[in-house]
């Protein structure tokens, strides 16, 4: 059976959920071969095998951490040459997309980014994308070369599918460009203990209506009662009430959870671009005319300072 190359996103050997989702999609197209790079690469093998990787290629070298993007492109190219896959799947993170794009042009292939679904088709894999702030759904294909496709988080279920997961070291020769951009320092993001925004099943977001950094405690309390991640609108982020890393929208994170709860957010097109594909959408807003209400499955017209704490109490009571 044809092999599909899956680029692994991991932090020191801990595989991120979107990669396991990619393995589910990869199995629809062929036999997944995973590529894991950098510190801890070999430690990813067991979880990748549990989720369908027949083979795990690994490579570690200081270049992967010390220089931006290009060393990873060199490695992915080496993997494509070693495996001759029918497709290359990469998680749609900012870096993942850059790696995928550079690979595509190098190997003479087209690229489709931000797929939200993938199926096998007669002329190769068919990707579903959502366009124009998720108001359109398109089906796209790569028509030349080895299809390079990046896939958004939450696009497929994580499924166990035990496979051999044979670990092999991939020899990588670095290109002249590999050391062009130095990473002088790296400050890891502090963990909040809450789920990762893009991967969370439930996201609770606050906007300008939250009216102050200290009031985000109300949003966090609701999130914690539901085991959710916390998001924010750009207005809240620009006001300095919440970190930019939690911004949901066109220039923030794009989320697609089972449940999205927006409080004090009007629903501007740029915000909708990042959350419109959420399965169930709930909004709390004191303005009955707010555009967010056009999207909701359930909306409460009211003051978030009344509604949100009451909801949190009720959730905690029902759980307790």
Partner 1 sequence: MSLRIVVCVKYVPDATGDRHFADDLTLDREDVDGLLSELDEYAVEQALQIADGADDAEITVLTVGPEDARDALRKALSMGADRAVHVEDDDLHGTDVIGTSLVLARAIEKAGYDLVISGMASTDGTMGVVPALLAERLGVPQVTLLSEVSVEGGVVRGRRDGDSASEQLEASLPAVVSVTDQSGEARYPSFKGIMAAKKKPVESWDLEDLEIEADEVGLAGAWSAVDSAAQRPARSAGTIVKDEGEGGRQLAEFLAGQKFI
Question: Which listed option, partner 1, ligand FAD, none, makes contact with residue 143 (CB within 5 to 8 Å by class)?
Answer: partner 1
**Of residues 168-207, which lie at the interface with partner 1 (CB under 8 A)?**
176-177, 180-189, 198, 202
Measured from the CB atom, is 44 or 113 closer to ligand FAD? 113
Question: Which listed option, partner 1, ligand FAD, none, makes contact with residue 264 (CB within 5 to 8 Å by class)?
Answer: ligand FAD
Closest alpha carbon to 87 in 66, 111, 69: 111
* Size of residue set near partner 1 by CB under 8 A: 91
Q: Is 124 in the site for partner 1 (CB under 8 A)?
A: no
CB 42 within 8 A of CB 70: no
Question: Running DSSP on this structure, what letter comes out for residue 129?
Answer: E
Question: Which listed option, partner 1, ligand FAD, none, makes contact with residue 46 (CB within 5 to 8 Å by class)?
Answer: none
Listed ranges 53-61, 67-75, 174-182, 243-251: which one lies at the site for ligand FAD (CB under 6 A): 243-251
Distances (CA, A) of 286 to 235, 268, 305: 17, 16, 10
**Binds ligand FAD by CB under 6 A, chosen from 93, 179, 194, 305:** 305
Distance CA 304, CA 254 (A): 24
4 in helix, strand or coil? Answer: strand
Minimum distance of partner 1 from residue 298's CB (angstroms): 5
CB 114 within 8 A of CB 150: yes
Q: Site map for partner 1, 64-103, x if CB under 8 A? A: ----xxx--x-------------------xxx-xx-xxx-
Two structure tokens written together for 18: 């979107």
Distances (CA, A) of 243 to 126, 189, 308: 36, 11, 21
**Binds ligand FAD by CB under 6 A, chosen from 230, 235, 281, 295:** 235
Calculate ∠ Cα 292-294-295, nearest 5°.
Answer: 75
Count of residues making up the chain: 320
Q: Site map for ligand FAD, 244-283, x if CB under 6 A? A: ---xxxxxx-----------xxx-x-xx--x---------
Query: How many CA atoms within 13 Å lie on the side-chain side of 195?
Result: 19
**Binds partner 1 by CB under 8 A, chosen from 87, 111, 229, 230:** 111
**Of residues 272-291, which lie at the interface with partner 1 (CB under 8 A)?**
273, 280-282, 284, 288
Question: Which listed option, ligand FAD, partner 1, none, makes contact with residue 266 (CB within 5 to 8 Å by class)?
Answer: ligand FAD
Q: Is 303 in the site for partner 1 (CB under 8 A)?
A: yes
Two structure tokens written together for 281: 């959408």
Minimum distance of ligand FAD from residue 260's CB (angstroms): 12
Listed ranges 22-30, 50-58, 62-70, 154-162: which one lies at the site for partner 1 (CB under 8 A): 62-70
Distance CA 10, CA 17 (A): 9
**Of residues 146-175, which lie at the interface with ligand FAD (CB under 6 A)?**
none
Q: Is 36 in the site for partner 1 (CB under 8 A)?
A: no
Query: How many CA atoms within 13 Å lie on the side-chain side of 139?
Result: 8
Measured from the CB atom, is 11 or 164 closer to partner 1? 11
Distance CA 92, CA 252 (A): 13
CB 10 within 8 A of CB 45: no
Distance CA 29, CA 84 (A): 14
Distances (CA, A) of 54 to 4, 26, 205, 273, 318: 10, 11, 39, 36, 44
Give residues in contact with ligand FAD (CB under 6 A).
111-113, 131-132, 140, 207-209, 233-236, 247-252, 264-266, 268, 270-271, 274, 284-287, 290, 303-305
């Amino acid at each position: 059976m044809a092999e599909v190359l899956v680029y692994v996103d991991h932090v020191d050997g801990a595989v991120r959920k979107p990669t396991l989702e990619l393995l589910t999609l990869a199995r629809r197209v062929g036999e997944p071969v995973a590529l894991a790079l950098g510190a801890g690469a070999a430690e990813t093998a067991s979880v990748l095998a549990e989720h369908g990787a027949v083979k795990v290629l690994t490579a570690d070298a200081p270049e992967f951490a010390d220089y931006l993007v290009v060393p990873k492109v060199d490695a992915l190219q080496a993997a494509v040459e070693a495996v001759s896959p029918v497709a290359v799947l990469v998680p749609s993170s900012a870096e993942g997309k850059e790696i995928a794009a550079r690979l595509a042009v190098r190997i003479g292939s087209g690229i489709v980014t931000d797929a939200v679904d993938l199926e096998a088709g007669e002329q190769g894999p068919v990707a579903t994308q959502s366009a124009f702030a998720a108001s359109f759904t398109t089906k796209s294909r790569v028509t030349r070369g080895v299809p390079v496709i990046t896939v958004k988080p939450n696009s497929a279920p994580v499924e166990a599918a035990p496979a051999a997961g044979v670990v092999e070291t991939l020899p990588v020769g670095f290109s002249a460009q590999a050391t062009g951009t130095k990473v002088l320092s790296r400050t890891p993001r502090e963990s909040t203990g809450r789920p990762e925004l893009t991967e969370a099943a439930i996201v609770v977001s606050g906007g300008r209506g939250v009216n102050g950094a200290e009031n985000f405690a109300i949003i966090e309390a609701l999130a914690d009662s539901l085991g959710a991640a916390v998001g924010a609108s750009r207005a809240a982020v620009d006001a300095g009430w919440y970190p930019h890393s939690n911004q949901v929208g066109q220039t923030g994170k794009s989320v697609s959870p089972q449940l999205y709860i927006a409080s004090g957010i009007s629903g501007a097109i740029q915000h909708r671009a990042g959350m419109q594909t959420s399965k169930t959408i709930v909004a709390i807003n004191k303005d009955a005319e707010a555009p967010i209400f056009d999207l909701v499955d359930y909306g409460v017209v009211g003051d978030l300072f009344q509604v949100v704490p009451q909801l949190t109490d009720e959730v905690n009571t029902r759980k307790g």
